[in-house]
Structure formats: C-alpha cells, structure tokens
Structure 1
Amino acid sequence: MTIVEGASSSGNAPPNPEHGDRLELDALVVGGGFSGCYMLHKLRDELNLNAKLFEAGTALGGTWHRNRYPGARVDVAVPGYEYSMEQIWNDWKWTEKYPGQPELQAYFNHVDKKLSLSKDCYFNTEVYDARFDTESATWTVSTKDGKRARAKYLIVAVGFAAKQHVPDWKGLDTFAGDIYYSANWPTEYVDVRGKRVAVIGTGSTGIQIIQEWAKDAAETTVFQRTPNTALPMCQSLLPPGVQEDRASRLQIFEDSKKTNSGLEIWPIPQNTMDASPEERLAAYERLYGGGGLWFWNTNYQDLLVDPIANREAYDFWAKKTRARIDDPRARDLLAPLEPLHPFGVKRPSLEQNYYELFNKPNVRLVSTRESPIVEIRPNGIVTEDGQLYEVDMIAVATGFDVVTGGIKNVGIKDRYGFDVADQWNKQGVRTHLGMMVSGCPNLFMPYSAHSPSVFSNGPTSIEFQVRWIADVIRKMRELGVRAVDVSKESEQAWKKEVTEIANMTLLPKAKSWYMGANIPGKPVEPLFYLGGMILYRERCWETSRGNLDGLIKM
C-alpha cells in the first residue's frame, strides 16, 4: 500500500521569522485560515500587540491550503466570500463565480502580501499542548518541532474541520495500490487515466473528487452511505468589470451585516403552504434554476421547521434529480422517493455534472447502507455481502471529526489541568458564545462550535467574531484587567439556547456532522448556533457591554 500525502515540513514553506524557539508574546494565534489571518492583523496592526501565528501547514490559507484534492472549490459565490477590507479587494479580481482551490490559495497569497502577515508566522509548526498558568495569567504553548511560546492571549483559530475522520477498516494497510486522503492530498497531479478508481464518501468533497476522476479513469466505483441532496452549481466565469463598481461592492458587505446568513439574502417571507401550488412551483423553479445554495438558504421561511413544507421542497428536488439519472436502481439510491432525512438538515453540496456521471457505463454506485465496507484487500474493497470491488486507487473522503478533532489536536488544558477536548467528548461541547470556555481565561476560539459558523457566510461571521475578540482585549487593556473568564452558568445558558433553537428545527432528525453523529462514540448534540447572525451579535455585545460586565474579570 502507498498512502500518498501532501507536502511535509521539508522545504516548501516560506522561511519562518528568525526568532528563537522560546517566545514571549502578547498574543498567539493558532491556525492560518480566514479567522487566523484576520485575527493576526487585528492584534498586530490595530492593537499594536506583539503577536505571532503558528500554522501547521506550509502557507496561509487554512482549509484552502490543506484541501488540494481535485475539484475542490467553495460553495458560496463571490464577491462575498472574501474579506470586506477595501485594501484587499480593491485590486483583487475573481475569475469564477465559485472559485476553486488554486484561486483561493492565490487569494490568500494576495492577502499575505497586502497585510505582510508571513513575517510574523511560523509555518510547519503544529501545536500539541496549551496550558494556562494562573499565577502569571499566561498561556504556555508547545509545538511538535520544539518551540515554546508564552502569551497573555491565546486565539485558537483552527476552525471546525481540522481533523479528518477515517473509519478503522480491516486490512487498510494491505492495499497494494495508492490511497489518497482528501484532507492531505499531494501537491503533484494524480493521474487516473487507465486506472480503476474508488471514491469512498459522497459529501461535498467526495462529489468534487468523483466529478474529476470520472472524467479520465477507466472505471470509477462510488461508495455511498447516504444520498447527498446536491444542487446544481451553475458555475460561470465572472465577466470583466463586474467587480469594479466600488459602491456596489461596499453595499454587498454592508447588506451582509444585516442578515442572519451573513450574505445579502433572505428566505421568502412566507410559509410554504400559504403559497398556492402554482406560486410554490414558480418559486422552486426560480431558486433551483439560479444555482448554488439558493434553493436551500432562500427558500420559504419554514423550510427547516415544518415537516410538510420540507417534504414539498424535497419532492421537487427529487423529481428534478431523478430526471437526470437513467438507471432505475441508481435513481433510487441517489434520489429516493422517500427521503432518508429532511431536506437541508445535511448541507446540500453543489455539483456540476454529478448525477449524469452515473449514466456512463464505467461509473458504478455501491450502497454501503445496504452492504457496508468490511475489509480492504490488496486488490480492492470488500463489502458485507462478500462482493469484492477490484480497484487500483482509492480516495478516502469520509468527513471530519468536526470541532472536537481540531481542538484535541491543539491539546488545550484548562486552569485546573483538564483536557478540554476530552471533556467535550465525554460530556458534550460547552462554550459561551462559541468563543470562550470556562476555566480557560484569555482563550478565544473564532469560527468554532456553538457559533453560527456553518450556518452563515464564513468571512462575514469571522470578521464579526474577530472584531468582538479584539474589542474585549482592547477593553481589558484599558481597564487594566489581567485575564477574563466565563462562568459555568454562562456556558450552561448558552448551551441551552443553542440546543433549544436547534430543537425548534428539523436538524436533530438526521445523523449529521452538524450533530456530531458521524463519529462513533461522540455525544450527539447540536454543535452550531441556528439563531442567526442578528441575534448572535446581540448576545455577544450583551456579554462585552460596559466594562466587560458579562465576563469574570481576574
């Protein structure tokens, strides 16, 4: 077996700053994605703090640096999926409506150049331990390459999908061909021409890989557990001049701050069944035909709360999708007449020609719900019914240990010495506002659990959270406060609000990564805040009002 991985810590990274391995800092940021980059900029350039950033990869970009697999691209249209800072967008032009990974990586290179971030970043630097010392009110952070940093403020900006989940298949190490993992894809082109390939998983990552590999492979076998309610991307090039209207660009960012989604969009302000059948059909056709996630996030306002309304939307989607699939069995597996879960409680992926691929004679679909994978052999994959699928290459796209996986990698210990990720795995996630953890003073976690994150536009949500964190730190300095913490009661109240709002929706009716249900043994619970950005902002400002009245000052 050959496990083909991405670039390691050998010489692909920009040079690290020439500092010693013992750092005394005001603030340390862990993670170099959207939230980490913006956080470093705020701390260093606006608060004038001695701040550095540790990044496990070889460059900035976070998800868009790590996810180099074929077909990787964002599912939020631009402009919009970007920083709102004019100094960055005023001389940056996107080429596609839904940019791919290479263009997104180029965007982060542009951000780096404009903000001069790399000079304060340590690449190939993976944190494994972070501990708070009450006496000095500082965090001590250790890395696998021997660095140690002490900082007053620790911002863990690893996002929610930093650790891939791989099932423990028997015989995985016996496979004679090449195995590729979506979260650690090689930088070199993977040639599948003339090969028999398998893709395990049909989430957004799996769909994107399948669409690329099936173009050239001699035979493609897709292993699906749950059908993806994927929507047409309707990709397009952005015509010249469309991004050069400054007033329009500014209005997009301003409008995005006033919506629950962090995008300049709203659901239809009407319940589904209050519209006539003709009105519903016209609305569905308009949203579906517009492409992207519009059919999901701008549908009727009761889509995710009313089972009858939800079924109406699903039936429309299924009819549209089934018409694209020739084989009756593939049709029933990919778009069953009876849904396995409500529409939209698992994030729909965007596809470009996914369903048509199964009309090709050399693309086959295997249902692991009917017959799970039980073994990997040197020449292929065996399912429970005894069927051997002979393949030369395997792509593993089985999702992430959302939130807790990335936090576990960092090894955060609270002021009492307890490992935060271990506590979360045993008792469930506990935060206040999705950004602070009781017993972890001066620790902040943007774009993590219990925040709107995955139910909002990432950059919009991140910019708000980073501004809030920076405002808390600014007030601490003005007030002469050494450290701030949150109470257990605040955590409990926030978890209750997260859970109560989720339970008003259809979300708990599916075993999804939104609920942590994709990882065996992990507590099944709502992991993200569905109250929307408007209410979330109010809750955050309530906590930091006045002289940080909603926090414990130490």
Structure 2
Amino acid sequence: MTRTNSHIETDVIVIGGGFGGCNSLYKLRNLGLSVKLIEAGGAFGGVWYWNRYPGARVDTEMPSYQFNIPAVYKGWNWSERFPGDDELRRYFKHVDSVLSLSKDTFFNTIVTGVQYESSTGRWNVSTDTGLTANCKYVIAATGSSYKKHYPHFDGLEKYSGKLVHSADYPEKLDYKGKRVGIVGNGASGLQIVQNLAKEDCELKVFIRTPCFAIPMKQRSISPEEAEMMKGYYDGIFDRCYGSASGFPHNTLFQSAEQASPEERKVLFDELWARGGYSFLVSNYYDFLLNEKANSIFYDYWVQKTRARMTDSAKMDLVAPLKQHMLVGTKRPSLEQDYYEMIDRPNVTLHDLKSSPIIDFDARGVVTGNREATQHHELDILIFATGYDAVTGSLSDLSIVDKSGVPLAEKWKNGVLTHLGLMVPEAPNLFMVYGPQAPTSLANGPPFIEMEVDWICKAISKMQSEGITAIEPTQSAAKAWREHVFAVSNHTLYPKTDSWYMGANIPGKRREPLIYLGGMQSWWKSCMNALENWEGFHTST
C-alpha cells in the first residue's frame, strides 16, 4: 500500500523490503508484535527490485539463496541454477502472496529521518510522503547496495548523450547501431558487457581495475529436479547456517603450499569444472591469508582465462601474466562468456590507469595523459560504478540517537557497532546486513535469517525479563571494532582498495566494513551476549 500524510503507532518499524526486511516483518509479526514496513521501491525485492540492467543475475546458486520457510518454498520452483532478476522479482511476489506482507507495508516511501525521543523511549520516523510513525523498535534493513555511486568527472554535465546508472536502468534502451560506453568493471559491469557485446552496437569498456571472474556454469533446472531437491533442503540450509560463509559447499582445511603442484592441479580442475563459487569456497583455505598461496590461484586463473581469448592486447589488460591483483580481495564475479565477449571485434577495451578520463563534452569522453589525448564519441554512457556500500544507505536514514547525535557524526571517526547489530546510544535500533558483521562476504539469505533470529531472541528475552530497552555499551562497541580490525589485519583484504574497505568512495574513511571472522565466530559472540546482556545497557 502507499498512503501519504498519515501517522501510525506501532511496535516495530522495518525499513527496507529486501530479504532482511521481509524476513524481519514475517518473524516479528510471529512474536505477536505490530509491525509495519517502509520500502522505497514499488514492490519487495530490495536490490532485485532495482537491478534491471541487461544480464542482472544472482551469483549464489540455488537452492541456498532463498528463505528457509516451507510454506514459501513448497509452492516455488527455481528454473535456473543462478536465477536472473526477473525470476527473483517473481519470487518476491510469491513470498508476498504466501506471507501476506503487503498488508503491513508502505511502498514508494523513502525514510528521511529516524529520531529517538528519550522522554517516551520511542522512535519517531519521518518520510518523503508525509507518512510519520512512532515505534518502540526500529529494524534498519536497508542492505549493502542501495545508495548509488556516481563518480565525479569534470565536464560530465556537458554530455548530451544518454546517461544511465546500472542500478537505475531504463526499461527499454535502444542499442542498435549505437556507440555505447561502460564505466565500471565489477559484477554489474561484467554482466552488462557480457550481454551488450552480443548486440548490434560498438561497445567501449573503460577499465581501471580488471575484475576477477570465474565460470558460473549456468544451467536450467527442470521442475522435476527442483522438486527432488526439496528433499535435501533441511540438510542444505543446516549446512549454510553451520558454515563460515553461509554457503553449503564442501570445505578443505589444507594449505595450498602443503599440496604438490600435481595435487593442486587436480583439485583446481575439478572445482573449475564445477563452476560457481566452488573454486573459492571449496579450495585451499589460505589463499586469502598468504600472498604465495594467492599467487598460485592467480597463476592457474590467468592461464585458464587467457586460453579463452585471441586478442593479446586485451589479454594483457584483463589477465596479465604478472599478477596485478590479490585474488578474492575484491568482490569476485561469476561469468558465463565474458572473456569471449570482450574478445569480439565490436568491443574495445580502454585502460583508465594509463589514460584516465579527463573531461567530457557534448559528444562523449576525453581520455589521456601528458603524451596524448583521445576523444571517444558515445551515444550512450553506462555507469556500472556500484554503491556507497554497507554504510551509505544507513547514513541516508538520518538516524539521530538519544543524545541528539546523527549517525553520520557518530561514525565520522570510524564505524562503531556491537556485533554489527546495534549502535551505542541508539536503544532498540537493530541493523540487518549492516557493517561489522559477516554481511557481504556471506550468502545473504541464510546470514540474514540468523541476524533476524538474534533480534527476535533479544526482543523475546527483553519481554520475559521486563526490559524496555537495550543498547550496547561504548566499551563493548570499541572492543568489537578492535576485533573486526584485528581479524581483518590477519588477511590480505586490507592490501586491496575495495568497497569491503570503504575505498570505492572518494573521501570515505578506509576501514574494514565487513567482519572477516566468519559466521560461526560471529554467531558465538552474538549468543554469548544474550546470556546475561554482556556488552549491553538495559532499561526497565
């Protein structure tokens, strides 16, 4: 529903209608609470409501990327190993139909303020439609990928062609005979290039940092196979919850250096052929801890990748023989035929490191350096430049704590949370899929279910003990932040500028935004905190 200029009094306001928001609404209602959800889009789905660019597709394979709710999955069969955006939107429509979520949801409504009122111990929520709300609990389930990042370029306002962001893609875009440029080489950029290269267009791909992509091995799933797999769902979901990363894959507790080159090749070949994230999740554990082990992975990957291409200049840009990146420290992508597509004659690759964008004019882009400049005429320019990830959407909520301090001000010297779930001085405000939790390095739905389960356990415990409010102590949050940093520093992640480290946004503080200790370590800390409210202030 979409209603404006109205006011609601409720127990819980959930902000965001993706996996986290839908799961929160469903489970908190089951506790007997009155719950309302506010969603910026016109339907459920979160990132899958907004992502409509060519080739948009999830890179976690089914059946582990869905709600573990029997009433939902009994009536739904996935048609592909890695479903596309359209199927995911249909899935959320099915979820809504089964769980009756829309009746408690305000769509096309953007939250503009969340302020705690100490005198009442409740939160006041304001929106762009005039809807206001007052509640005891707030669930900020805004996700990691909502706030679009538009990079700053001199003269961009002069460009008169069609300008598109991958997260705000038009329903119809005519490419035929057009000169199309794409800036950005992450997951969305790869999927767009992979699809547009097949169109009747001239495609120019501006690459600053080449992606690391491994075979998806996409395939169709018959209805019979989908039904058969439901007999294993309990085992698959249990494996997801009990793993470090939320994936049901086999794990290998062996160092790459402990294996012989022959043993490594046998394993690498097997996992490569299997497709998906098996090559990373089921492989030698130390490639993210040890540069030598990482180089072994890179050397295998680069040979497999170059063998799929014919243009040596393109090979040297996207898969140079000398290792140019640490495997896995930026978001790895899954591809179907990306390397064959960029090898096509209608696709040109431009190296932004040697010749960056220096200006725009009405007809296109100017790149160059001290030696020379080059003008690229473009009819369409696509920014596949991602998001102000993990923290950006939270900052936009204008959360103000009980001392009157905005969240952006609280975090100006670094993110401070306890367990990635709560913030000091913000009673009864919970985050789902936020910073300093396993978040973006975990399989989303199973991890989100664990977070929501913890929130439900916490609220149930509060009710049974007559507690009206909880909030983490400053000392507990500082200790958790130090732990997040310490774990990160034992890995190779800090050696790479990535959105995991907040390094994709100019001016954003560079720090580990994701807890790298794995879901089991994080969950143990979460459950320990519930035993006697260790690390929390409680109010009665």
- The answer to whether TM tops 0.5 is yes
Alignment of 1:50 onto 2:70: no
Provide, for residues 234-254 of structure 1, a one-character-per-residue CA deviation record: whole Å limited to 9, x for no partner: 100013322223431221112
Alignment of 1:417 onto 2:404: yes
Query: What are the within-5 Å matches in structure 2 for residues 359-508 of structure 1?
Result: 359-385=343-369, 386-424=373-411, 426-508=412-494
1:57 Cα offset (Å): 0.6
Match of 1:219 in 2: 202
Contact 2:72 2:98 in 1 (8 A): yes
| Counterpart-to-counterpart distance in 2, 1:71 and 1:377 | 29
Provide, for residues 328-378 of structure 1, a one-character-per-residue CA deviation record: whole Å limited to 9, x for no partner: 221111011222221111121011111112222111000111111122211
| Counterpart-to-counterpart distance in 2, 1:339 and 1:453 | 28
Of 225, 236, 242, the residue aligned with 1:258 is: 242
Contact 2:5 2:132 in 1 (8 A): no
Contact 1:196 1:217 in 2 (8 A): no
Of 22, 45, 55, the residue aligned with 1:71 is: 55
Match of 2:167 in 1: 183
Provide, for residues 41-97 of structure 1, a one-character-per-residue CA deviation record: whole Å limited to 9, x for no partner: 1111x1111110000111110000011111101000001100111111011000000
Alignment of 1:287 onto 2:274: no
Give secondary structure in 1 for the equivalent of 2:522: helix
Alignment of 1:206 onto 2:193: no
Contact 1:341 1:509 in 2 (8 A): no
Query: What are the within-5 Å matches in structure 2 for residues 343-358 of structure 1?
Result: 343-358=327-342
| Counterpart-to-counterpart distance in 2, 1:434 and 1:443 | 12
Give secondary structure in 1 for the equivalent of 2:288: coil
| Counterpart-to-counterpart distance in 2, 1:375 and 1:418 | 39
Give secondary structure in 2 for the equivalent of 1:241: helix
Provide, for residues 274-320 of structure 1, a one-character-per-residue CA deviation record: whole Å limited to 9, x for no partner: 11111000111111111111112221011111111110000100111
Contact 1:408 1:422 in 2 (8 A): no
Of 80, 83, 86, the residue aligned with 2:64 is: 80
Alignment of 1:244 onto 2:237: no
Contact 1:130 1:141 in 2 (8 A): yes
Of 522, 527, 541, the residue aligned with 2:508 is: 522
| Counterpart-to-counterpart distance in 2, 1:415 and 1:372 | 46
Give secondary structure in 1 for the equivalent of 2:315: helix
| Counterpart-to-counterpart distance in 1, 2:260 and 2:402 | 58
> What is the RMSD of the two structures over their aligned residues, measured on CA atoms?
1.3
Between 428-437 and 20-29, the greater mean CA deviation after superposition: 20-29
Of 127, 131, 135, the residue aligned with 2:115 is: 131
1:163 Cα offset (Å): 0.7
Match of 1:33 in 2: 18
Give secondary structure in 1 for the equivalent of 2:226: coil
Give the TM-score taking structure 2 as reference length: 0.97
Contact 2:475 2:535 in 1 (8 A): no
Provide, for residues 489-514 of structure 1, a one-character-per-residue CA deviation record: whole Å limited to 9, x for no partner: 11111111111111111111100111
| Counterpart-to-counterpart distance in 2, 1:266 and 1:342 | 23
Alignment of 1:160 onto 2:144: yes
Give the TM-score taking structure 1 as reference length: 0.95
| Counterpart-to-counterpart distance in 2, 1:225 and 1:274 | 35
Alignment of 1:333 onto 2:320: no
| Counterpart-to-counterpart distance in 2, 1:348 and 1:485 | 35
Give secondary structure in 1 for the equivalent of 2:81: coil
Contact 1:438 1:486 in 2 (8 A): yes
| Counterpart-to-counterpart distance in 1, 2:434 and 2:354 | 34
Match of 1:9 in 2: none
One-letter amino acid of the counterpart of residue 477, structure 1: Q
| Counterpart-to-counterpart distance in 1, 2:368 and 2:149 | 21
Structure 2 unaligned runs (5+)? none
Count of aligned residue pairs for this structure pair: 535
Provide, for residues 407-432 of structure 1, a one-character-per-residue CA deviation record: whole Å limited to 9, x for no partner: 121111111111112332x2111111
| Counterpart-to-counterpart distance in 1, 2:523 and 2:206 | 41
1:25 Cα offset (Å): 1.0
Alignment of 1:552 onto 2:524: no
| Counterpart-to-counterpart distance in 2, 1:94 and 1:170 | 45
Of 4, 12, 24, the residue aligned with 2:9 is: 24
Match of 1:7 in 2: none
| Counterpart-to-counterpart distance in 2, 1:524 and 1:267 | 31
Contact 2:193 2:342 in 1 (8 A): no
| Counterpart-to-counterpart distance in 1, 2:113 and 2:120 | 18
1:105 Cα offset (Å): 0.4
Paired-residue identity, % = 43
| Counterpart-to-counterpart distance in 1, 2:39 and 2:185 | 29
| Counterpart-to-counterpart distance in 2, 1:550 and 1:218 | 58
Give secondary structure in 2 for the equivalent of 1:410: coil
Contact 1:380 1:389 in 2 (8 A): yes
Contact 2:5 2:130 in 1 (8 A): no
Where do 4+ consecutive residues of structure 1 move more than 3 Å?
none
Alignment of 1:299 onto 2:286: no
Match of 1:315 in 2: 299
Provide, for residues 371-422 of structure 1, a one-character-per-residue CA deviation record: whole Å limited to 9, x for no partner: 1112221111111332111110011111211122111211111111111123
One-letter amino acid of the counterpart of residue 71, structure 2: Q
Give secondary structure in 1 for the equivalent of 2:227: coil
Match of 1:107 in 2: 91
